[in-house]
Amino acid sequence: MNLKLNKLIARNFKGFKNYELETYGQDINVFGDNGTGKTSLYDAFLWVLFGKNSVDQATFDWKPLDKLGNEINHLETEVIAEIEVDGKATKLSRMTKEKWTKKRGSAVEMFDGHTTTYKIDDLTIKKKEYEEFLATLIDEDLFKLLTNVSYFPEKLKWQERRQTLIDMVGDVTDVDVIAENKELEPLKELIEERPADELKQLTEQQMNQINKDIKTIPDRIDEVDRGLPDISKLDKDELLKDKVNFENQIEKLRDKIAEVKNSDSVIRLKTEIAELRTYYRELELDHKEELEKQLQDILKEKETTETEVRETNAVLEEIKGNNSTVERAVSRKIQEAKELEDSRAKLLSHFYEIRDREMEGFEAHRTTCPTCGQDLPEAELLNIRYTYEKEVEAFNTNKDLELKENKEKGLAIAKHIETLKDEIDQLNSGLRTDLKVIADEEKDKERLTNRLKEIESEINKVREGQNPFVETEKAHDIKNQAAELQRQIDSGQSNVDGEVDEINQDINKAKDYLSKINDQLGEIDFHTRQSKRRTELIEQEQDLSVKYGELEQRLYLLEEFTRTKVNLLTDTINSRFKLVKFKLFEEQINGGLKETCEVTVDGNNYSTGLNNAMRINAGLDIINTLMDYYATYVPVFVDNAESINDLLEIDTQLITLSVSNHKNLRVEVA
């Protein structure tokens, strides 16, 4: 696409009252003193296209100013651009005018914003259609990139510059990079799984973590060393032998106690006592079952009655809960009705106040001149009276409206009060019905409760009439037999107890020795575990150091990969330009690489080492290449062109803006 500017007309735009710039699609040079409007031409061209100025501002001072620097109002600002796109002529127009309106009751017009009219070939269209038409010609961002010599090197972030260049030449593949530098062969499989930049980031994270882990290990080893017990005087094998000996000794002593306690006569007597106790429990259970059988029917009635009491309580709780909710609702509605009555009373009072309101008489108006005191002329008196009558008419109309509104509000409140009263009556009716149900349920509850008391009395009478098994003659006989057997055991028990006590003392001594042995064996085991842990930490430190070295080597290769890739990419990109070269990375102090995108000329950075003339030529060189890449050619404006003697040739329409002593703009064909 090839776009040329044939004519630009600026009317009431910035310092232009009515100015025409004719280029006929040719390169031109515009000369003029400071303030004559050179930059305004560029602003006007961008404004008619995108509504912005040359520094990409949508809000700027585009209106003409008077000598005091104030905006001149009630003017139409219009810019017309006659362009040629691939040989086809098109006229574009953007016209903005102020909107002034009179507020109700005011005789003075007030500024109320702007309206903008868009035209293509003199046909008025909507803003959206205008923008869509321009979008079919060229993207706004791309236009700024191609028409402004400083946009690419100064306005774009370095990341955007870098990506634009990569998009233009195509990125270098990982396979190309490794093929260029055989030293990078070990990265081939790794890069197949993960991109190089992600792999580099992951490697650095892993190295940082390993470094942190390595730094903690000496403290952990020192902690293990401080906790090691002194076992230099302990022999584990001897301790284990002693442990077995004392355990065997304790077992033998316990066997001896069992032999003492379990002589034949004592065992026989204890067996007989155990059999008597079993027989006693069986008889006691039979006796209890007989008693329960007698109570079965009456207990069943008790259970049924208790169930009915619980059900009655549940019904009562539900009804009472509902009543509480209804009572609260009634209370709220009564309060709401009272508040409405108060509002109604206030409305009625206000009604009488409005009704009695009167307009002051005409006599209260001045009919004489406030300065000289003479009677006003008849014509002015008629005008005053006419105004007064209009005021009376407006007063009465407003009064009628207020009375009507007051009455409507009063009727609405009265209707709402009646509705609330009906709702309160319905709720109270339901409460009275529920109170009757509650009374009936309370009577049933009282009847059932009384019956429960009667049943409890009957149960007690049945149980009091029966003797427990412990009081029966059979129970007394069994207890007497067991007591006699126990007396026979006790008569020979005193000698056994003394011997058992002596054996237990020997067992306790053996346990004390065994406890000390176990403590010493525990210290040996703890020392062994901690020593093993110390060895593991040392091995872990060695493994981490090896791993760190491997990662360090990988990081070196990844940085070499980046360096190789950037060199390939830089050579490819720089081959597209005549004057400028691009620096796509910077060497760091630590030997690493930092991505960047700096424009250079003869090794000098655009941002710090070039004068204005060289910057302009650098921008033209960049635009030339980008226009070829995008196959899009648009007019290029070069401001401050007086600072350069030899402009770089460019394959599109060039418009230079130069400072001169001319008080009015002078245009020359280049």
264-309 confidence digits (pLDDT tens): 566 667 777 888 788 878 887 877 777 777 677 777 877 888 888 8
Count of C-beta atoms within a 10 Å radius of residue 341: 13
The confidence band for 205, taking pLDDT boundaries of 50, 70 and 90, is very high
Amino acid at the residue 135: A
Q: What is the pLDDT of residue 586?
A: 83
The confidence band for 381, taking pLDDT boundaries of 50, 70 and 90, is confident
Q: What is the pLDDT of residue 466?
A: 66
Task: Specify burial of residue 309 (Cβ count, 10 A radius: 0-12, 13-18, 19+).
Answer: middle
**Angstrom distance (rounded) from CA 296 to CA 170:** 99
Q: What is the pLDDT of residue 629?
A: 93
What 3-state class would DSSP assign to 456?
A: helix
Q: Quick check: 539 and 545 in contact, CB under 8 A?
A: no
Candidates 326, 472, 336, 361; CA nearest to 413 is 336
The confidence band for 556, taking pLDDT boundaries of 50, 70 and 90, is confident
Q: What is the pLDDT of residue 600?
A: 95
Q: What is the pLDDT of residue 465?
A: 62
What 3-state class would DSSP assign to 359?
A: coil
Q: What is the pLDDT of residue 108?
A: 79
For residue 577, pLDDT beyond 90: yes
Candidates 13, 69, 19, 67; CA nearest to 664 is 19
Candidates 189, 172, 212; CA nearest to 554 is 189
Amino acid at the residue 258: A
Q: What is the pLDDT of residue 370?
A: 67
Q: What is the pLDDT of residue 526?
A: 87
The confidence band for 493, taking pLDDT boundaries of 50, 70 and 90, is low
What 3-state class would DSSP assign to 358?
A: coil
DSSP assignment string, 23-74:
-TTS-EEEEE-TTSSHHHHHHHHHHHHHS--TTS-SSS--S-B-TTSPBPPS
Q: What is the pLDDT of residue 264?
A: 56
For residue 421, pLDDT beyond 60: yes
What phi and psi values does residue 15 have, to the nearest 5 degrees? -90, 0
- DSSP symbol at 94: E
Using a pLDDT cut of 70, give the percent of the chain over it: 94
For all residues of the chain together, what is the average pLDDT? 86
Look at 468 and 542; give whichever has higher pLDDT. 542
For residue 319, pLDDT beyond 70: yes
- DSSP symbol at 492: T
The confidence band for 365, taking pLDDT boundaries of 50, 70 and 90, is low
Q: Quick check: 208 and 555 in contact, CB under 8 A?
A: no
Using a pLDDT cut of 90, give the percent of the chain over it: 32
